[in-house]
Structure 1
Amino acid sequence: MKLQAVMLDVDGTLVLSNDAHAQAWIEAFAAFGYDVPFDKIRPLIGMGGDKVIPKMVSGLSEEEGDGKKIAQRRKELIINRFSSTLDPAPGSRELVLKMQHQKLRLIIATSATADELSGLLKAARVDDLLDEATTSSDAEASKPEPDIVEAALSKLQVEASQVVMLADTPYDIEAASKCGVGVIAFRCGGFDDASLGGALAIYDDPADLLADYDNSILGKK
């Protein structure tokens, strides 16, 4: 079917934020007495907090107790400290403008909260371009569960075969594949090609995809 729409992950895809998310988790856990090393938390970035917290500390939950406090602290750190320090992924704004020029419908599909998303889009310098989104509030479970991608498909009202997702983690690929949505992956999120092996194609970053646009899935719509 003809490509109609593109789902956009944000962290690691449009904005170089994955290391900052890892650091925010480290500081949030530390604030409540838990030592979480960077090399343990970094490979989990791309999952939602409901998955990350129990993987780091068995028995903790995002819904109650220390786990809930840690999740709130991480969110505050991202919004109040880290967002203002982030850089856009190379070519993010130019790629979004190109897709809009090509009449593709764009929707954000992220595990971030709506409060976090505002700052992240500003950091990516696309906050004036993108206004349709599904966030953590639209899903019972975060990536790699398919809820967020399903919510985006529901808003788009198009077939999965008419959509492609731009993303950067294996969790995005897993979530999208459960819905029949193909993924174009970016290395700028920090994952290697083996981790992104389920993608339709892999590019360094949005600028790399833009340079190859006419030969890509997007250019063949």
Structure 2
Amino acid sequence: MSQHRPIKGVILDVDGTLVDSNEAHTRAWVEAMEWAGYHVDFKRVAPLIGMGGDKVLPEVLNISKDSPEGQRISQRRKEIFQQKYLATVKAFPGTAELLHHMHDQGLKLIIATSAEPDELNKMLQLIEPHIEELFENATTSKDASQSKPDPDVVQAAIERIKLSPQELIMIGDTAYDIEAASRASVAAIAFRSGGWSDEDLKGAVAIYDGPADLLKHYDESPLARGL
């Protein structure tokens, strides 16, 4: 049997992975579109969360995020999310404990998210004050011309963490995370916490319910055993 390749770093998605925010983001998008005069069903938008606005708006409304209308809707979504829904978002059980455990095991941690930098900072504070100190760095929408499932944000994370793709694993909650990781030659662990089925997440090397479930099974996981 071949020797397992050790993991030295972890690339982490945030929304739906570390914090329970997918529904809040969906509602903010739906309300922003309604505000702009477009009635879109919640179920139409929900499966798209995990992509950035550069993907959501063309997919749903055939509007570019960079167009005046796209910028207007994106800005309104951000306002609605921060003013109305951010206060409803909570970290998943076990999130802080998992992050501390991975860090204590000597793994380098970095974030790769489609969120904007100011939103990311607010999300991290929901996990634990100063939790950002556990991370080497973070890549956000500002670091990627294309959001997931394009690999841009993952590739940016690889460059910043200064490890090879083979030394890394990504943790996410959507098929977009798995595809983005795969296109950057990084293996992925998936969480069911974002609402996706095991069939949707089948490209992952392992699937867990969420942070607490991975922490419970940590010693048997790819993080401890390698790939």
Normalised to the residue count of structure 2, the TM-score between the two structures is: 0.94
Gaps of 5+ in 2: none
The alpha carbon displacement at 1:105 in A equals 0.4
For residues 45 and 115 of structure 2, what CA distance do their matches in structure 1 show?
Answer: 17
The alpha carbon displacement at 1:68 in A equals 1.2
1:98 and 2:101 equivalent?
A: yes
Residue aligned with 1:183, SS: strand
Greater shift in the superposed pair: 128-137 or 17-26? 128-137
1:48 and 2:57 equivalent?
A: no
CA displacement, residues 10-56 of structure 1 (integer Å, 9 cap, x when unaligned): 00000000000100000110111001101100011101100000111
Residue aligned with 2:207, SS: strand
State the partner residue of 2:115: 112
Letter of the 1:103 partner, please give it. Answer: G
1:87–1:184 Cα change, 3 Å: same
Letter of the 1:102 partner, please give it. Answer: Q
For residues 127 and 171 of structure 1, what CA distance do their matches in structure 2 show?
Answer: 28
% identity of equivalent residues:
49
Q: How many residues align?
A: 220
State the partner residue of 2:88: 85
Gaps of 5+ in 1: none
Counterpart pick for 1:32 among 30, 36, 45: 36
Whether the 8 Å contact between 2:100 and 2:134 is mirrored in structure 1 is no
The alpha carbon displacement at 1:127 in A equals 4.4
State the partner residue of 1:140: 145
1:172 and 2:177 equivalent?
A: yes
CA displacement, residues 61-89 of structure 1 (integer Å, 9 cap, x when unaligned): 11012111111111122223322211111
The alpha carbon displacement at 1:150 in A equals 0.3
Letter of the 2:214 partner, please give it. Answer: L
Letter of the 1:53 partner, please give it. Answer: L
For residues 115 and 95 of structure 1, what CA distance do their matches in structure 2 show?
Answer: 23
The alpha carbon displacement at 1:167 in A equals 0.5
Residue aligned with 2:10, SS: strand
Greater shift in the superposed pair: 124-133 or 199-208? 124-133
State the partner residue of 1:18: 22
1:216 and 2:221 equivalent?
A: yes
Counterpart pick for 2:13 among 9, 14, 37: 9
Letter of the 1:45 partner, please give it. Answer: I
CA displacement, residues 91-122 of structure 1 (integer Å, 9 cap, x when unaligned): 10000010011010000000000011011112
The alpha carbon displacement at 1:126 in A equals 6.1
For residues 18 and 127 of structure 1, what CA distance do their matches in structure 2 show?
Answer: 23
Whether the 8 Å contact between 2:30 and 2:41 is mirrored in structure 1 is yes
Whether the 8 Å contact between 1:118 and 1:127 is mirrored in structure 2 is no
